[in-house]
Structure 1
Amino acid sequence: MSHMRRRSSHMGPSPDEPRASPIVGRTPRLGTGVGSTTGTSTRVPPSPSLGFGGAGTLRSAQRDPNQAPTAQEVVGRIASVLLRVLRTPRALTALVWLTLMWVASSYVRENAHHLSQRPVHPRLLPLIRHSGTALEYLSPDLGGRVKSWHDDQVKNDPNRPLTAAELEAASRHTFHPNGLLLVNPKGRHPIHLLIEDAERKWKDKVARQSKTLGEAVREYKRRHRRNPPKGFDDWWAFCEEHNIQLRDEYDQINHDLAPHWALEAHDSRHRNKVMQERDHTFTVAMHPGETMPTLHGPYWDLKRATDIADMLSLYTGRMPRPLNITYIIDDNPAVMLPYSQRERMVELGEQGEYYGPSEFIEGEDPTLSNFAQACAPNSPLRRAERGEYTPDYSGDSVRSFVWNHAKTTDLCLHPEARKLHGHTMQQGVPLGPIVPLFAFAKTKLHSDILTTPIEQWEAHYVGYEPPWSGKSMNKLLWRGSTTGVEFNRHTPWRKSQRARIHIMSHETEGERHVIWSQRGQLRDANVSTAVLNDLYMDTSFAGALQQCDAETCEILEKQFDIKPTIGLDESNTYKYMFDVDGNGWSGRFHRLMSMRSAVLKSTVFPEWYQDRVQEWVHYIPVKVDYSDVYDIMAFFVGMPDGSGGHDSLGEKIGQAGKDWARDFWRYEDMAAYMYRLSLEYSRILHHDEGDVDYVEMPDFNFD
């Protein structure tokens, strides 16, 4: 077998054989045909490529196999490959998809605005979403627009079920910074939410109160950034002795005394002495070690003065220094500063500096009311009086309820309320310097020092007091005299707070749009005004006419239903009571809160207990324009057909109010407020003498 030739390990074409074409396979061999004879074959030199000539003839030109292909040949080869690729199913699909995307993108680009407003069939939404995702690879901007179009279509689909987050957002009410809850008609009835939120706030406030003197000192420093006044430890002992609640909630005192810190001590003492000689005042003089204060001043012999002195006697002998405080006898406040001056004094006081004659204060606009000049330059009240646009939050424009009563009493935030109250519809007291006058009532714009009035206050009110279920009158009761404004032809008295409640509750024409609650959800209806007043209201002027000239008194007698006054026994048969301001604060609020009835309160005078009571827990706050009264009564009493009432919630508020008046508004509670106020004011008068702060001593007991 040695004669046999081994097979080469490299199998390749011999030099005499044609090379394989990289385009169309191996080069064809030409056998029989042109140039061949029967039984014989003639080898024809291989063609380097297969060309296309006229009538399909074969190009037979011979070329060197090592020669580089021409440009024409390269193009031809690439075209041949593309044709072969495009004939595959995947290539055809890709081509169609790219064409569709190009057409779709061109159409979306040209008709974007029209498409955004035109609904599409829900079955096309997945295609639009996937198209947007694919287009983002080519054009992020275009892909994002397509996806936004998809999202808009989904959101606007009326048949699409909303997610939990969308349902919550769509039904959310607006808690406006001005203290009003703006009603969303798609949400729950807002009173449910207001009660739940208020109960949580009250529970948190009670739980976080200081339990020891050390905790109270630390909380005082945190809130006011200074040491407590001298005698703070004895004030704490007084609170312990009398079981005073909420011992941290005295921010009103700090607010009232803030501008006085900018006065030098000798200046404060001088102003204090001058006020003791002012008309319409009386002064209470307290001396350490003496159990009873003395009275002097022009009106020292008023019963109001002796009643105040009796209350202050609970702590007079415990004062660290002698102190004289001067009360103004009027129901109204008397001190108001321009906004820029008050703000500058508060700023200087916080920095430990003093306000002097050289202090430059930019003048206010004299064309504005004094109330507006006491507000910040960009406040709604100032803008409204300057004729600038301000949003209207009156009941004629928006349905709302009170969620923060203190903020709704701020006229700077509520210009719509200024002309609806006898006190604020006037120009306001003259703007003047800061003086230490102690007043029984003030708005947030006044700079008097607020105190605790005790007119009409009793520890116990004698009368028939049935339980809630024994109150037969499921209506809102109010009886009041013609006070709150001067009833004369020069005053728009019909817009005052007491006249409006009488007029509103005696209307018989037209309808009112009210909202009510059905299984927690908000419902609305148009109801006859006469039906609503008959169902809900028993409010009227009562007793002898007061504060009216002859002409207006005659109008009141002819046009108003003046009813007799009502006694405690009859009052206690009503489940709902209305508390409305008179010339100043309402002296009847404590009595109404003590009756186990749910009290509705409307006021512009935040009182000393404002930080110590909770709206929607202890009472029901009402807007100054009364636009929420019928909605409130519809919620608690129900509609004329008996549906939608929440009698148990009304009972709950009535009982909570009674408990609050018993536990938080006692004689001792008012004395505790005045005791702390007296310590704070005494420090302002003597802060140049030293030893005016309470400094807590370190505890070295390591047991």
Structure 2
Amino acid sequence: MRRRSSHIAPSPAPAFADDSRPSPLLGRTPRLGGGGGGARAGAGVAASPSLGFGGAGNLRSVPKDPHAAPTAQEVTARVLSVALRILRTPRALAALGWIALVWWASSYVRAHSHDLSQRPVHPRLLPLIRHSGNAIQYLSPDLGSKVKSWHDYQVNNDPSRPLSPEELEAASRHTYHPNGLLLVNPKGRHPIHLLIEDAERKWKEKVARQSRTLSEAVREYKRRHRRNPPKGFDDWWAFCEEHNVQLRDEYDQINHDLAPHWALEAHDSRHRNRVMQERDHTFTVAMHPGETMPTLHGPYYDLKRATDIADMLSLFTGRMHRPLNITYIIDDNPAVMLPYSQRERMVELGEQGEYYGPSEFIEGEDPTLSNFAQACAPNSPLRRAERGEFTPDYSGEAVRSFVWNHAKTADLCLHPEARKLHGHTMQQGVPLGPVVPLFAFAKTKLHSDILTTPIEQWEAHYVGYEPPWEGKSMNKLLWRGSTTGVEFNRHTPWRKSQRARIHIMSHETEGERHVIWSQRGQLREANVSTAVLNDLYMDTSFAGALQQCDAETCEILEKQFDIKPTIGLDESNTYKYVFDVDGNGWSGRFHRLMSMRSVVLKSTVFPEWYQDRVQEWVHYVPVKVDYSDVYDIMAFFVGMPDGSGGHDSLAAKIGEAGRQWARDFWRYEDMAGSRSAYMYRLGLEYARILHHDEGDVDFVEMPDFSV
């Protein structure tokens, strides 16, 4: 008997036509049942795999073909199996941890960025924060920039870090607000030092850039106003040469006043001019070419004011090329106000060489607003305030400030807080109406009168004792005035008017005031008794007989106010500081005060004809309408109660500069001077508007071929 080998050689695979394996069930019939057929069934099963039903009755599966494509379930199972094997490695676990940490840190920084930015960190961590920000920026630019900004914030706010000169200057810088106020930074120099330095520089630049020849003046005129000068401009220049008139380019006020009139056709302008000559409360000065003396007519032609004006205009009447009638309103207040949209439209048409006609559509203004607000731009602070909208508060109670641009602080559109603090502006305002050629001695920026030069209270020399600065014994602020500026009656809040407030403020004795002063150029602060400040700085009061008050209010004034007698020139000249405050209109005493060699503190809402020809903080000291800067100004110049912090020499410099300005820039010498130069130029400009349809109304400079 042969022994069975333990090695079984593989039998060769059978060849089939379709290369597929035959079913193991072919040629066999499964048997159902128990043990009777077990032997045969067993033999068949042992020979090859087969499907059958065992004793338990279960169906056995057929093995899968290894060459068949895997199913989606198998692919998913394999991928998950591989991923699980990878995630079990140490490197994968570390990577997952870093990703989780970055995600958590990002979420925390986003949710607590403000708190983190305010929380100081140890200086040794700052480099780590900076490098982390650089790294994070590759993953999230927004988050990386926040981390680096946090680093920069921590560096800049490190209390132990020395500041650079640029950072020191920026940290102490005051704010020059577009509304004309300098907002005080307590960390900076005392602002009055800066205001004086800046003003002196501006004044020197203005004087230096003035035209020196007629050709230069013509070029400058064209640059500013984009048109030729009026006919007779060369003769006006000769007039200025004869009388040594200064600042011959600074007449922008004239062009501002006449801007809406350029939108009227010439015959319309002449018609309105004739109508105004018949208006009540007016007088008219008529000038004719070749006649040296103008004539007067109108309802109030016999006033002394009218005669004085005619005498002044006679200085150039004979030089006029065309007849000209100028109608003055006799009141101290302006009388013409246009709605903002109408004025702006007329100015726009005039600049384009077009005319404003009856068919011109102008959007109506809000009738619930005051006339002052309706003369302002729609989004101006005054309009927003009257509509109940939020506007920043720049009153003295909200922010400490000084005036750096007096013309802007006198603009009510920019300063709604000042409107209720002046007798003229606390009212509704003159009725809105059409543009008419009325010449007024004073007006606010919102009025459309044509500003002219007043002559009242002007003298070439004021007789009286005139001591030098060192001889002025009273180191206080002087003001004496009548009860004008508002109607003093029970229906008017007269206590808030400009003259009543200065009296009330300077006689207070209760409480303290927070003042700033200067020590070696730096700003210092202190609380001082109000009674001490008023005793040290102020000598202001109503004077003379009571005016413009009903019986009830006159009695209140007599009982509650200290009415003092008026003082003469000799006594007033002994004061180093004098206050110029508006009355019913403009202040007629400004020229006299400027001639005293004293420092003039001026508060007004009426920019006058000379506003382009004078410099605040060089010739006088501007004061806010609410007077909140008066004590700080006096503390700077006079000093504190203990005598420290005064700047007497700077005050003397301003007083002398004001006196020289009144002498050289506001003259009437030899019956001429800059006042007549202003009116002569205004006459030429207005005559061109009245006759621009006749031709030959411009001055055209002929080329010089001799050069």
TM-score by length of 2: 0.84
Residues 101 and 131, structure 1, Cα contact 8 Å, conserved in 2: no
Verify: 1:672 aligned to 2:677, yes or no: yes
Deviations along 1:230-268, one digit per CA (max 9) or x if unpaired, are: 000000000000000000000000000011111111111
**Number of residue pairs aligned between Structure 1 and Structure 2:** 612
Name the counterpart of 1:45.
none
Quote the residue 2:687 is aligned against: 682
Aligned residue for 1:53? none
Amino acid at match of 2:687: S
Q: Matched residues in 2 for 1:156 and 1:196: separation?
A: 32
Q: Distance in 2 between matches of 1:207 and 1:471?
A: 33
AA partner of residue 285 (structure 1): A
Deviation at 1:102, TM superposition (A): 7.4
Q: Please name the residue that 2:399 is paired with.
A: 398
> 1:389 Cα deviation (Å)?
1.1
After superposition, give the CA deviation of every residue in 1:396-447 in whole Å (9 maximum; x if it has no partner): 1111111100011111111111110010111111111111111101110111
- CA apart distance, 1:155: 1.9
Counterparts of residues 108-507 of structure 1 (less than 5 Å): 108-112=105-109, 113=112, 114-136=115-137, 140-507=141-508
Which letter does structure 1 place at the counterpart of 2:313? Answer: L
Quote how far apart the aligned CAs of 1:587 are: 0.4
Change (3 A) 1:108 1:166: farther
Secondary structure in structure 2 of the residue aligned to 1:300: coil
Q: 1:144 to 1:370 in 2, by over 3 A?
A: closer
State the AA in 2 paired with 1:531.
V
Q: Write the deviation string for residues 646-680 of structure 1: whole angstroms up to 9, x where unpaired.
A: 11111111111001000000121100000000000
Shift in Å, 1:144: 3.3
The answer for the alignment partner of 1:697 in structure 2 is 702
C-alpha distance in 1 between matches for 2:446 and 2:147: 55
The one-letter code matched in structure 2 to 1:551 is: E
Residues 345/550 of structure 1: CA separation in 2 closer, same or farther (3 Å cut): same
* 2:320 alignment partner AA: M
* Partner AA of 1:673 in structure 2: Y
Q: Which amino acid aligns with 1:680?
A: E
**Which residue is equivalent to 1:603?**
604
Q: Secondary structure at the match of 2:187?
A: coil
> Secondary structure of 1:601's match?
strand
Evaluate the alpha carbon distance shift between residue 145 and residue 494 of structure 1 in structure 2; reply closer, same or farther with a 3 A threshold: closer
Distance 2:473 2:225 in 1: 49
- Residues 78-131 of structure 1 show CA distances to partners (whole Å, capped at 9, x for unaligned) of x9xx99xx9xxxxxxxx99x9998798566435422533321122322333344
Shift of 1:133: 3.7
Deviations 1:263-297 (A, max 9, x none): 11111111111111111111111111111111111
The aligned amino acid for 1:309 is A
| Structure 1 residue 590 displacement after superposition | 0.4
Q: Which amino acid aligns with 2:130?
A: R
Instruction: Give runs of aligned pairs for residues 63-82 of structure 1, distance below 5 A.
Output: none
Compute the displacement of 1:149 (Å). Answer: 2.3
Cα distance in 2 for residues equivalent to 1:154 and 1:689: 72
Give the conservation status (yes or no) of the 8 Å contact 1:101–1:135.
no
| Mapping for residues 571-582 of structure 1, pairs under 5 Å | 571-582=572-583
Q: Alignment RMSD, CA only? A: 2.0
What is the alpha-carbon distance in structure 1 between the residues aligned to residue 249 and residue 575 of structure 2?
35
CA spacing shift, 1:139–1:265, aligned 2, 3 Å: closer
SS in 2 for 1:357: coil
Shift of residue 522, structure 1, vs aligned partner:
1.1
State the secondary structure of the residue aligned to 1:617.
coil
Kept in 2: contact 1:419–1:425 (CA 8 A):
yes
Partner of 1:17: none
Specify the alignment match of 1:555 in structure 2.
556
Structure 1 CA distance, aligned partners of 2:575 and 2:491?
37
TM-score, reference length from structure 1: 0.84
Letter in 1 for 2:170: A
Alignment correspondent of 2:74: none
Aligned AA (1:696): E
Which shows bigger deviation, 116-125 or 610-619? 116-125
Residues in 1 aligned to 2:388 and 2:107: alpha-carbon distance in whole angstroms: 46
User: How far off is 1:383 after superposition?
Assistant: 1.0
Partner of 2:529: 528
Secondary structure, counterpart of 1:479 in structure 2: strand
Q: Is the 8 A contact 1:105 1:142 kept in 2?
A: no
Please give the secondary structure, in 1, of the residue aligned with 2:433. Answer: coil
Distance 1:385 1:695 in 2: 48
Residue type of the alignment partner of 1:182: L
- State the distance in 2 between where 1:136 and 1:383 align: 44
Runs of 5+ in structure 2 lacking a partner? 1-81
For 1:65, the equivalent position in structure 2 comes to none
For structure 1, which segment, 120-129 or 512-521, has the greater mean C-alpha deviation from structure 2 after superposition? 120-129
Report the Cα distance in structure 1 between the residues aligned to 2:97 and 2:456, rounded to whole angstroms: 85
1:471-507 per-residue CA deviation (whole Å, 9 max, x = no partner) reads 1111100000000011111111110000000000000
One-letter amino acid of the structure 2 residue matched with residue 467 of structure 1 = P
Task: Give the gaps of 5 or more residues in structure 1.
Answer: 1-74, 87-94
Structure 1 residue matching 2:453: 3-state secondary structure: coil
Who is 2:32 aligned against?
Answer: none
Tell me if the contact between 1:108 and 1:115 (Cα under 8 Å) persists in the aligned partners: no
What does residue 5 of structure 2 align with? Answer: none
Tell me what 1:31 maps to.
Answer: none
1:18 alignment counterpart = none
- The one-letter amino acid of 2:547's match is Q
SS at match of 1:320: coil
For 1:64, the equivalent position in structure 2 comes to none
Residues 609-624 of structure 1 mapped to structure 2, 5 A cutoff: 609-624=610-625
Measure, in 2, the Cα distance between the counterparts of 1:622 and 1:341.
32
Which residue is equivalent to 2:36?
A: none
In structure 2, what is the Cα distance between the partners aligned to 1:687 and 1:659? Answer: 40
Shift of 1:141: 4.7
Letter in 1 for 2:417: E
Any conservation in 2 of the 1:579–1:600 contact (CA below 8 Å)?
Answer: yes
Name the % identity: 89
Distance 1:590 1:320 in 2: 32
1:579 is paired with a residue of what secondary structure? strand
SS in 2 for 1:654: helix
Equivalent position amino acid for 1:359 in 2: E
Letter in structure 2 aligned against 1:678: G
